[in-house]
Structure formats: structure tokens, C-alpha cells
Structure 1
């Protein structure tokens, strides 16, 4: 449990209330005025605890803020097609975890906007093939974790393609109109981690998407980096944000 006396929370807020961002070195210097011999590991644990308590908010690696980033919550529109697909899946596979969304949502953040979109259906690894064949039997244009060749030769020529991929365990999702779908944190990580499926969102567009999202929406960076870790891309995404994105407080 965080001790207000040990952590000097009131003094911490007073000291950094006017600063947009606080570096780890700033926090170390702050605590050294109370204990000249405080160890870096002790400060790291205090920072960890303060983040968990919602007193500090992680902006990027080694950078924190006393206030959460501005912006509104990201709540994408669930159309009838997504809702219908979600209902069909859960009627046939009532106990599996899913995440359903449309790549059309990415156009909100892009300059050069694609005219073809995919419905992304993420399911648990163990049932990917079962879901694939179930949808195939229903006459759906469905593709199971397609390669670049399949994407370029077949998916792009489909009218309503559904792409099935593996849902990472403990992925940050949200439920909207009874449909489990993307959070903005998951969306950002996914388009970085899957450059084949999201080829249209790479390069300058990737930077534009990240910048627009951070400018417009509230992003829980702690949640985002935790998910990035589960996809083994935390360091890469951290470096990308630090070098390419200007975080607005």
C-alpha cells in the first residue's frame, strides 16, 4: 500500500504540477532531497506503485505526467454486418473469446484512404480452423491468417472478405452493442505488429495514424505497452512513439 508519508505525494504533486512531462531523473532528484542514498531500484518501485495508483501516468519510456492525456474515449461504430457476424459466431461457439472490427475504421486517421476493407475476426488459436470452416460453409469469403500472396491475389479481389487471425491472450478489448471489439490501444499495436495485413497503413501513414490518434483520443499508454509486450513489440513501439509521435498533454 502506498504510504503518503514515504512517497511524499502532496509534495510530488506540488513540485511537478506545472510540468507537462516528468523524467525519471526528475523523480530521482525529487526523492533524493529526502534521502541522499536512495537507490534507483527503490525509485523505480515507487514509480511503478504511483502509476498503479493513478498518481503518475506513463507517457512513454522514462517519461511520466501527473495528468492523463486529453482527448475523448475511442468508441467505434458497430454496423449491422459486424453485429450479425458476432451473433453468428457466438451462437455457434458460445464460449470462445473474439474481437471483431473493420479496417474501414482506420480511414479516420489516414491521408491516403484505401477503398477496400477487411472484416477482422480474431479468435482463440485453438478454434481458428473450426471458425474458418463454419463461416466457409455459410458461403462467407473467409481467409485464415492469409499470407502476403493470398492477400494480394485473392483477398483484395473479394467483395466482403473476412480475415481470421489469432486473438492474443489478455488483449485489451471493449464491448460495444454486445460486440467485443478493438480498443484504440489494441488497434495501434496491431497495425504496427502486422505489416502484411495492414500494408496500406505502413510508412508515413503509420506515423500519421499514431499522431492523429494521440491528438484526438485518450490513449492508455500503460495498457498499450502491456499489450505490446504480449506481442513482443514493446521496445520497437516505444522507440517508434518516442521518435515519431508528439504526445499532447
Structure 2
């Protein structure tokens, strides 16, 4: 049976599901191709992915709907800031900003805020070096500082501690969280930083999953790393 015919049969079997598990796929393939070995069935599954008849969206999760990958491309303004900071600090820096959130969710945030995550032991030293910058710099501000001083700023830089195992993507010299990392970070920073300046966290997640290929397994692993797996998983259930 040709791959396109296998895909057509799978779509028919799972027409009411937005995603299917590898177990479900292999069970159907085995029923359609009973003479094939387990290894050959796995090979046919890989061929369906290679031929873009089936798309993997997580560990053991698939869909038939193509969605592009989200590339966290920093703006020229953010790249210039990144380069300036790298002249002061040679360690790893992961950068994301509100422009990326607008790109995903559709542009509800008018402020330009940049989040720089790095080794927590180096935060104080870098903060001191950056106090001469024209943009206001905040070092892990608490709720009171955020409300009184950060919220009024149209442009600001926020220094935070880099969480180990943050999923990242590199674009040239620049390192940013992957879309999974951005979504978890946004949830984590939502109440203090982002909701007050107009971010709808439900809309952000709904738009991300509607527009892009988001690896749910990777997202939930990072959410678990930040002790928020249960809460974020509940949010995902509202958009599925």
C-alpha cells in the first residue's frame, strides 16, 4: 500500500481527533499491513513523516495538519542590544522580548521590553555594568518595583536568572528561547509583568498552537522544570 493511501486511511480513522499517538498510528498500520514486522512498521511511520503526510508535534504525538515552525528572530533593535551586552558579558545569554510575543499573539503589547536570562551568579555584576544604558534596567524586580517603576516604562530591560534546560534556538550569533520556552516564560511572567501591559495569556497559547508547530511534550517538560506543569497543562486543555 502506498504512503498516500496509508495517510488517507489514517485520516479517515482519526477524522475526529486533532492529534494522534504513535500507538494509535502503529496499531492502524499493523491492521492494514499485518505481514510487516515491528521494525518495518516503524520505518513506514517514518516514511509518512518524511513525505509530509504526517507531522510530529511532540514525543509520540502526531497530526495531519501542517503548521510552520516558529523562528524566534530578534528585531534589529534587540540584536544591537544583545551585541552591546555581549561586549560586557561573555557568558551565555538567552534573550526574548515583547515583540516576539506580539508576533505570536497578534500585537496587543505596545511596550518594548527585553528579557535577558543569564547565570544567576553573574546578574549583579552585569546589572552594575548596564546602569549607564539609556534604557532602564531592572534586576529581577519584585511586584512592588514592577508596579511602581517598570510598568510606566515604554522601553525596559529585565535581567533574570537563566533556568537550566531552557529550550533554546540559535539564529546566527543570537540565542533565544524556542516557542515552547517563550510560552512557558510568558506564563511564568504573566501575572507580574505581562498581564498589566495587555497580554492575554490564553490568546497567546491559542494563537501559538493555531499558527505554529508547538512541541507539546517539550513545552510540558520545561513547564515541569519550572514547577508549573499542572497549571500549564490545564491551560492547554482549554484550547484543544
TM-score interval, normalised by the smaller of the two chains: 0.7 to 0.9
The 5 Å alignment of 1:8-47 reads: 17-18=10-11, 19=14, 20=17, 21-22=19-20
Q: Which has the higher mean CA deviation after the structures are superposed, 229-238 or 150-159?
A: 150-159
1:130 and 2:125 aligned: yes
Equivalent residue in structure 2 for 1:64, among 51, 61, 64: 61
- Cα offset for 1:238? 1.4
Q: CA RMSD in A?
A: 3.5
The 5 Å alignment of 1:103-114 reads: 103-110=98-105, 113-114=108-109
- Cα offset for 1:80? 2.5
**2: distance between equivalents of 1:159 and 1:201?**
10
Equivalent residue in structure 2 for 1:76, among 72, 79, 86: 72
Assess, with a 3 A threshold, how the Cα gap between structure 1 residues 24 and 97 changes in structure 2: closer, same or farther.
same
Q: What's the counterpart of residue 41 of structure 1?
A: none
Assess, with a 3 A threshold, how the Cα gap between structure 1 residues 171 and 201 changes in structure 2: closer, same or farther.
farther
Given that 1:116 and 1:156 are in contact with CA atoms closer than 8 Å, whether structure 2 keeps it comes out as: no
Deviations 1:153-199 (A, max 9, x none): 11122342101111111211112242111311111111112221222
Q: What's the counterpart of residue 229 of structure 1?
A: 224
Tell me how many residue pairs correspond in the alignment. Answer: 212
Query: In structure 2, the residue corresponding to 1:192 is in which secondary structure?
Result: helix
The 5 Å alignment of 1:31-180 reads: 57=56, 64-65=61-62, 67=63, 70-94=66-90, 96-110=91-105, 113-180=108-175
TM-score, length of structure 1 as denominator length: 0.70
Q: What's the counterpart of residue 39 of structure 2?
A: none
**1: distance between equivalents of 2:209 and 2:197?**
16
Given that 1:109 and 1:208 are in contact with CA atoms closer than 8 Å, whether structure 2 keeps it comes out as: no
- Cα offset for 1:112? 7.6
Assess, with a 3 A threshold, how the Cα gap between structure 1 residues 240 and 90 changes in structure 2: closer, same or farther.
same
**2: distance between equivalents of 1:135 and 1:226?**
33
TM-score, length of structure 2 as denominator length: 0.72
Given that 2:166 and 2:177 are in contact with CA atoms closer than 8 Å, whether structure 1 keeps it comes out as: no
Equivalent residue in structure 2 for 1:210, among 205, 210, 220: 205
Which ranges in structure 1 are unaligned for 5 or more consecutive residues? 1-9, 34-49
**1: distance between equivalents of 2:55 and 2:229?**
20
**2: distance between equivalents of 1:82 and 1:112?**
17
The 5 Å alignment of 1:172-211 reads: 172-194=167-189, 195-200=191-196, 205-211=200-206
Query: In structure 1, the residue corresponding to 2:213 is in which secondary structure?
Result: coil
Query: In structure 2, the residue corresponding to 1:93 is in which secondary structure?
Result: coil
- Write out the 4+ residue segments of structure 1 that deviate beyond 6 Å after TM superposition: 27-30
Which ranges in structure 2 are unaligned for 5 or more consecutive residues? 32-44
**2: distance between equivalents of 1:81 and 1:26?**
47
